[in-house]
Structure 1
Amino acid sequence: MGGSSLPLLLLCVLGVCAEDPPPAVPASDPWGEFWLVRFVVNIAGYGTILVPGFLLIKYFKRRNYLETGRGLCYPAVKSCVFGNESKSAAPEEPSSAARTDADPSTTQQALRLLFCAAGLQISYLTWGVLQERVMTRTYGSEEGGRGERFRDSQFLVFMNRILALTVAGMYCAFTKQPRHGAPMYKYSFASLSNILSSWCQYEALKFISFPTQVLAKASKVIPVMLMGKLVSHKTYEYWEYLTAVLISVGVSMFLLSNGGGARASGVTTFSGVVILSGYIVFDSFTSNWQDSLFKYKMSSVQMMFGVNLFSCLFTVGSLLEQGALVEAARFMIRHPDFAFHASLLSVCSAFGQLFIFYTINKFGAAVFTIIMTLRQALAILLSCLIYGHPVTAVGAVGLAVVFLALFLRVYARGRMRRKGKKAADPPAVQKV
């Protein structure tokens, strides 16, 4: 209930309750505004940091700096390139095993899952409302002017990451954290894919409708599982594949039956489909790479700090090289309401990231994706409540399929856990 009331209040504050936003298709933009050109330029900006960093890492490893290095720079190089654990030391247990070390009761596990789900829903339902407002509406038109639309998706990514870095840094500074063991450069992989997925998410709203974007996000469960096999060599049970398919089918039924009339079908373009495909690929890699990094026994906030540190480095470097940082600052000065929306967007993103890392650490990437998939259905349900769209019979069946799949997944995981405990019982307990 709290997850739907907060975005509803926000919608009224932002003044978007009365009508759907107009289509945001850039029909006559110059060549420099073409999304593929911007994407390549952004990648080139990241490359000016990635390439020298890659060459330095290769150099230090080739020189066997871990054994021969000395001096003031040695601790920093050791932490960034080699980490605080020996190269030959294998992680004690995979992250999935670490999540079950404490062996919480079913009630504790359920409450923890409920906490994660509620935090993610509140943060990202609100964030979704703000995202659509910033990317699909003009600023300045209410004062009688023509109004202008903010177009730099990368600046919004930077705003989100700088606040998340600050929050994570302060938390790490004032609380006791585990001894950090991962080489710092490994965060850059998740950071780069996270930046690109966020950029794709913002950019896609210029070409396609919000319901279409939500529908694409709702189908991520299977790509995440496939990426888990590729990145972490994970194995999944048949029931995990079955429930993933059921969730995708159920959410798709709901979205297709209830979100189709928001905009004209012509808004959906080939560019939008390509950008959304990029989002799904990058986002699937991000969650699985973070899941694999948790084997170093780091905390969720340490993960958040490491990923956002590189994200800020990449985005601010690229923005400065393009001169976009100054232009974005000028836009904020011209339109204080945009500054407020962008700041609030960053707050939602920062708290959302805390819940993301905590959920992935405790339950894994696939469970996190299920929660976020359910959020897509709630986002459309919220739209139905605000704008009076009726929930059709097909949509109701879709929701029933989703909740059935979630119930089956929880039931199957419980059975597997009980089987594992029985198998681990010592012989002395089993003999009678």
Structure 2
Amino acid sequence: MATGEEIAPALQDSWGDFWLFRFFVNAAGYASIVVPGFLLIQYFKRRNYLETGRGICFPVIKSCVFGSEVKSVHQDDGSLPPRAEPTESSTARQVFKLLFCAAGLQASYLTWGVLQERVMTRTYGATEADPGEKFKDSQFLVFMNRILAFTVAGLYCALTKQPRHGAPMYKYSFASLSNILSSWCQYEALKYISFPTQVLAKASKVIPVMMMGKLVSRKSYEYWEYLTAALISVGVSMFLLSSAPNRTVSTVTTFSGIVLLAGYIIFDSFTSNWQDALFTYKMSPVQMMFGVNVFSCLFTVGSLVEQGALLESLRFMARHSEFTAHAVLLSVCSACGQLFIFYTINQFGAAVFTIIMTLRQAFAILLSCLIYGHTVTVVGGLGIAVVFMALFLRVYARSRMKKHSKKLPLGETPVQKV
């Protein structure tokens, strides 16, 4: 009897720690908010509330359900402010800006990567007599990241001039839901695979992004885009299949880790394509950041409260001040990194930004191997080289195509790309 009573809580804990069980529990929490919201939107549309509605709530409902503007004819009208071209007289200033952007992006995301692996794979409060405890709730970390990003984006929008917002607010919820699910999969995957494996898998998300682009946005691609996507998949496969015999349990690529990585890539691919479609409304990137994070905070805090996990996570923070510092710094790096992304693309364009972030991925793998002792075989190293070669080839080919498209006669238009 005593043995049976001891086994029951152990089984309950093991089920509670299983990632698939937590995924469905989190999804049920999101559904408790999404389903009533969907029914309310359908109710207001069926009642033709835009024509018949009155009262104090009318502006809020109109903004959330119907929006205040039609879509822009051209996507470029509101997606990004015009990028200032550098002049000869300001070369030194442009170099300084480029170094500032590169340093800001590298510092933000390299620190974020190191802390992410530390929080998800190491224990807190370990002593000679006590092995310590690991933090288990990935959703709370997603909530911490989103609440700070929401605050930063809100302050930025309040203090700077932004385009008049016209998109129905509920449309942000689709990107928000896929974004928090992709972030959750990203954190959760570190319990089963190494950080270098995760970085290489992120690089391979070009392939599902292209697939989502065909399905969601009906986009077409050039032959070199398919070629670089194939090279990336080959490089990632080389890395994943080159497991060394002496590789430790923490770095073994498990089935659960692969499934979680696949979930991350699929959800993240949908997020980027849905946001791309939303930019057909007149808005700035910071407005997009604010709108998505509003719903992200709503979904995550609602799910955490329903599960009782919010108080448990706060108790963990109270027990371990080191974890509190790591979680706050993780959120700061995430929010600052998003602002550096917008500023870099605005000043120098997407090609320069992609080069900086590709270098960041390489540095992140090196830093993780140095700090946490991950081993990489010769075949795995060749796979990493193939992936980054394909990424740089992709950036080069895209920049050449853009230069060629600028030289085309007015009547000719190149194939649309992502």
TM-score of the two chains, using structure 2 as the length reference: 0.82
Map 1:4-23 → 2, pairs under 5 A? none
User: Partner residue of 1:195?
Assistant: 180
Closer/same/farther in 2, CA of residues 326 and 71 from structure 1, 3 Å limit? same
Closer/same/farther in 2, CA of residues 404 and 270 from structure 1, 3 Å limit? closer
Question: Gaps (5+ residues) in structure 2?
Answer: 1-9, 413-418
User: Partner residue of 1:430?
Assistant: none
Closer/same/farther in 2, CA of residues 347 and 385 from structure 1, 3 Å limit? same
Q: Is the 8 A contact 2:194 2:251 kept in 1?
A: no
Cα offset, 1:306, TM superposition: 0.6
Amino acid at match of 2:58: Y
Q: Is the 8 A contact 1:201 1:276 kept in 2?
A: yes
Cα offset, 1:199, TM superposition: 0.8
Closer/same/farther in 2, CA of residues 30 and 236 from structure 1, 3 Å limit? same
Rounded to whole Å, the distance in 2 between the matches of 1:281 and 1:330 is 33
Amino acid at match of 1:278: G
Amino-acid identity (%): 75
User: Partner residue of 1:131?
Assistant: 116
Residues 1:349 and 2:334 are matched in the alignment:
yes
User: Partner residue of 2:300?
Assistant: 315
Map 1:14-413 → 2, pairs under 5 A? 29-86=13-70, 90-95=71-76, 104=85, 119-142=104-127, 144-250=129-235, 263-264=248-249, 267-356=252-341, 372=357, 374-384=359-369, 401=386, 404-413=389-398
Closer/same/farther in 2, CA of residues 261 and 281 from structure 1, 3 Å limit? farther
User: Partner residue of 2:6?
Assistant: none
Amino acid at match of 1:422: K
Closer/same/farther in 2, CA of residues 167 and 275 from structure 1, 3 Å limit? same
Cα offset, 1:378, TM superposition: 2.2
Cα offset, 1:217, TM superposition: 2.1
My pick for the range that moved more, 73-82 or 140-149, is 140-149
Closer/same/farther in 2, CA of residues 237 and 225 from structure 1, 3 Å limit? same
Rounded to whole Å, the distance in 2 between the matches of 1:58 and 1:70 is 18
My pick for the range that moved more, 215-224 or 384-393, is 384-393
Amino acid at match of 2:191: K
Rounded to whole Å, the distance in 2 between the matches of 1:63 and 1:332 is 47
Q: Secondary structure of 1:150's match? A: coil
Question: Gaps (5+ residues) in structure 1?
Answer: 1-25, 428-432
Cα deviation, 1:156-177, whole Å, max 9, x if unaligned, reads: 1111111111111111111111
Q: Is the 8 A contact 1:287 1:360 kept in 2?
A: no
Q: Is the 8 A contact 1:121 1:375 kept in 2?
A: yes
Amino acid at match of 1:30: S
Amino acid at match of 1:39: F
Q: Is the 8 A contact 1:258 1:390 kept in 2?
A: no
Closer/same/farther in 2, CA of residues 306 and 363 from structure 1, 3 Å limit? farther
Amino acid at match of 2:74: E
Say how many residue pairs are matched: 399
Amino acid at match of 2:299: F
Q: Is the 8 A contact 2:79 2:284 kept in 1?
A: no
Cα offset, 1:356, TM superposition: 4.7
Cα deviation, 1:9-29, whole Å, max 9, x if unaligned, reads: xxxxxxxxxxxxxxxxx9994
Amino acid at match of 1:74: F
Q: Is the 8 A contact 1:217 1:376 kept in 2?
A: no
My pick for the range that moved more, 192-201 or 349-358, is 349-358
Closer/same/farther in 2, CA of residues 399 and 186 from structure 1, 3 Å limit? same
Cα offset, 1:375, TM superposition: 3.4
Cα offset, 1:299, TM superposition: 1.1
Rounded to whole Å, the distance in 1 between the matches of 2:49 and 2:353 is 39
Q: Secondary structure of 1:141's match? A: coil
Rounded to whole Å, the distance in 1 between the matches of 2:161 and 2:199 is 38
Cα deviation, 1:282-321, whole Å, max 9, x if unaligned, reads: 1111111112212213111111111111000000001111
Amino acid at match of 1:293: L
Cα offset, 1:183, TM superposition: 0.8
Q: Is the 8 A contact 2:182 2:267 kept in 1?
A: yes
Q: Secondary structure of 1:340's match? A: helix
Rounded to whole Å, the distance in 1 between the matches of 2:346 and 2:280 is 10
Pairing partner for 1:422 from 389, 394, 407: 407
